[in-house]
């Protein structure tokens, strides 16, 4: 089951108005999957929705002229104040506020909670500084402000959605039973493509310049597999650079909201590598679900969310060491029928367990619960 709450029946009316607060706009993968894509379905269920991204591409243009002339710290302060003011106005309108990954100051959180029911969602470890490039503020404070604000919003929320089960313990310690929701993934947008003509197999990856660094350690493995007589191409969607590989032809494509589904369909095998660090072990796995919905066989890191989503030998292959990565890639390249079976099972799993249709009853249940809780705010 996707969640320990999935078998329970919720009674009561759906909220009439929901304010959705994603961390970013539709171009941010986690916000698109976990917030923006829900809007049409919630509206179809009779729920009026408004969307207020915490960070958006146009946010700087919304600042007063003096704010745009100010330095980065001042702009950040003015931008936060503007967002908090909009959030408070929105919570006056809404029955339920659904917040994704934004950690609110205690005063703002308390005022939101006095006005509306609250749901909190996070698919990444927002309570921790980044393993690789923590900001100066994070380095100076050791993430203390993140931890305090995280604990406060989890404690105040009626329902808490997570993607990675490794986050359950912290949520439970704060008195909340986490709801595990993978993705979800739009299985109509991401679907298997037409059969390809024969040629070198395409090993594919899609992501962002920030997550590309996670892939770098396995590039040498691809080079080694190709050198052993297994020709391949490497397609990188969203990578910041083209790596120099002698034996592998590399094609780099710019990531696009409309072009990613087509680009992924050109892959024969998808790869998802994460280093074994405390933070990456807690990250979400949205890209794994993209691959599964596209009917692709996957090689994924065993650590972290990959070991939770991928069933080794059935919906993909898991690897821990570089030697295991080499063996898994070689197996998928040389065994056509096995590769096809993995892709078909991955697609089936995406449709039946990780699609919006699969999670809709769970989402509506959480909204009903938060709507009922509006009259009994929790500010501790």
Per the model's pLDDT, the better-predicted residue between 322 and 142 turns out to be 322
Q: How many CB atoms lie within 10 A of CB 199?
A: 9
List alpha helices for 228-283, DSSP H. Answer: 260-265
Give the containing element (helix H, strand E) for 235.
strand 232-237
Instruction: Report pLDDT for 306.
Output: 95
> Which of the four pLDDT bands, split at 50, 70 and 90, describes residue 77?
low
Q: Is the pLDDT of residue 228 over 80?
A: yes
What range defines the domain where residue 298 resides?
201-353
Instruction: Report pLDDT for 153.
Output: 97
Instruction: Report pLDDT for 373.
Output: 84
Instruction: Report pLDDT for 65.
Output: 44
Report yes or no on 328 lying in a domain.
Answer: yes
Q: Is the pLDDT of residue 283 over 50?
A: yes
Report yes or no on 194 lying in a domain.
Answer: no
Place of tokens 């710290």: 73
- Per-residue pLDDT tens for 351-370? 999 999 999 999 999 999 99
Mean pLDDT for 116-122 is: 97
pTM: 0.88
Same-domain status, 120 and 209:
no
Same-domain status, 23 and 36:
yes
Highest-scoring range by mean pLDDT, 63-72, 144-153, 252-261: 252-261
Locate 285 and state its tokens.
């796995």
Is residue 236 within 8 Å of 252, Cβ to Cβ?
yes
Count up the domains in the chain and report the number.
2
- Per-residue pLDDT tens for 144-184? 788 899 999 999 999 999 999 999 999 999 999 999 999 99
Report yes or no on 1 lying in a domain.
Answer: no
Q: Is the pLDDT of residue 19 over 80?
A: yes
> Which of the four pLDDT bands, split at 50, 70 and 90, describes residue 57?
low
Highest-scoring range by mean pLDDT, 130-144, 195-209, 228-242: 228-242
Same-domain status, 275 and 365:
no
Same-domain status, 132 and 278:
no
Q: Is the pLDDT of residue 6 over 80?
A: no
Report yes or no on 209 lying in a domain.
Answer: yes
Instruction: Report pLDDT for 374.
Output: 75
Average pLDDT, the chain: 88
Q: Is the pLDDT of residue 64 over 60?
A: no
Is residue 223 within 8 Å of 245, Cβ to Cβ?
yes
SS3 218: helix
Mean pLDDT for 78-102 is: 94
- Per-residue pLDDT tens for 291-347? 999 999 999 999 999 999 999 999 999 999 999 999 999 999 999 999 999 999 999
Mean pLDDT for 81-98 is: 96
- Per-residue pLDDT tens for 182-219? 999 999 999 998 877 777 899 999 999 999 999 999 99
Same-domain status, 307 and 209:
yes
Instruction: Report pLDDT for 195.
Output: 79
Per the model's pLDDT, the better-predicted residue between 276 and 108 turns out to be 108
Report yes or no on 12 lying in a domain.
Answer: no
Alpha-carbon distances, residue 64 vs 11, 248, 299, 367 (angstroms): 45, 50, 48, 35
Same-domain status, 291 and 263:
yes
Q: Is the pLDDT of residue 143 over 90?
A: no
Same-domain status, 162 and 222:
no
Report yes or no on 195 lying in a domain.
Answer: no
Same-domain status, 120 and 170:
yes
Same-domain status, 31 and 179:
yes
Is residue 50 within 8 Å of 94, Cβ to Cβ?
yes
Smallest CA-to-CA distance from 26 within 189, 136, 145 is with: 189
Percent of the chain with pLDDT over 90: 76
Same-domain status, 212 and 317:
yes
From 85-89, 114-118, 337-341, 374-378, the region with the lowest mean pLDDT: 374-378
Mean pLDDT for 75-92 is: 86
Mean pLDDT for 78-84 is: 88
Is residue 325 within 8 Å of 332, Cβ to Cβ?
no
Same-domain status, 38 and 169:
yes
Find how far residue 99's CA is from the centre of its chain.
Answer: 14
Residue 196, CB-side half-sphere exposure with 13 Å CA sphere: 17
Instruction: Report pLDDT for 7.
Output: 41
Instruction: Report pLDDT for 136.
Output: 58
> What CATH number is attached to the domain comprising 291?
3.40.50.2000
Same-domain status, 107 and 251:
no
Report yes or no on 135 lying in a domain.
Answer: yes
Distance CA 56, CA 27 (A): 9
Q: Is the pLDDT of residue 24 over 50?
A: yes
Is residue 108 within 8 Å of 87, Cβ to Cβ?
yes
């Amino acid at each position: 089951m996707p969640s320990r709450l999935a078998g329970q029946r919720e009674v009561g009316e759906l909220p009439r108005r929901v304010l959705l607060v994603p961390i970013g706009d539709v171009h941010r993968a986690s916000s698109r999957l976990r917030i923006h894509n829900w809007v049409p379905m919630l509206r179809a269920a009779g729920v009026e929705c408004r969307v207020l991204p915490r960070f958006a591409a146009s946010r700087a243009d919304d600042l007063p002229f003096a704010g745009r002339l100010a330095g980065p710290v001042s702009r950040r302060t003015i931008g936060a104040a503007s967002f908090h003011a909009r959030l408070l106005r929105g919570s006056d309108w809404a029955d339920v506020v659904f917040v994704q990954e934004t950690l609110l100051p205690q005063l703002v959180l308390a005022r939101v909670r006095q006005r509306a029911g609250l749901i909190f969602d996070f698919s990444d470890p927002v309570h921790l500084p980044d393993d690789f490039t923590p900001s100066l503020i994070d380095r100076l404070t050791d993430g203390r402000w993140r931890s305090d604000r995280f604990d406060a919003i989890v404690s105040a929320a009626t329902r808490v959605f997570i993607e990675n089960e490794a986050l359950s313990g912290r949520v439970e310690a704060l008195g909340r039973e986490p709801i595990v929701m993978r993705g979800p993934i739009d299985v109509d947008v991401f679907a298997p493509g037409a059969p390809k003509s024969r040629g070198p197999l395409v090993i594919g990856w899609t992501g962002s310049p920030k997550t590309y660094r996670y892939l770098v350690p396995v590039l040498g493995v691809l080079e080694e597999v190709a050198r052993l007589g297994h020709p391949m191409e490497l397609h990188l969607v969203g990578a910041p650079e083209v790596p120099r590989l002698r034996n592998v032809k590399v094609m780099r494509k710019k990531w696009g909201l409309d072009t990613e589904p087509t680009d992924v369909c050109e892959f024969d095998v998808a790869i998802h590598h994460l280093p074994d660090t405390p933070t990456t072990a807690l990250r979400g796995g949205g890209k794994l679900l993209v691959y599964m919905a596209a009917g692709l066989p996957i090689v994924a890191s065993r650590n972290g969310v990959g070991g939770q989503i991928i069933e080794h030998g059935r919906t993909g292959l898991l690897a821990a060491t570089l030697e295991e990565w080499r063996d898994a890639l070689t197996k998928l390249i040389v065994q056509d029928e096995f590769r096809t079976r993995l892709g078909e099972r991955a697609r089936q799993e995406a449709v039946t367990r990780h699609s919006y249709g699969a999670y809709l009853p769970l989402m509506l249940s959480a909204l009903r619960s938060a709507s009922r809780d509006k009259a009994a705010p929790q500010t501790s």
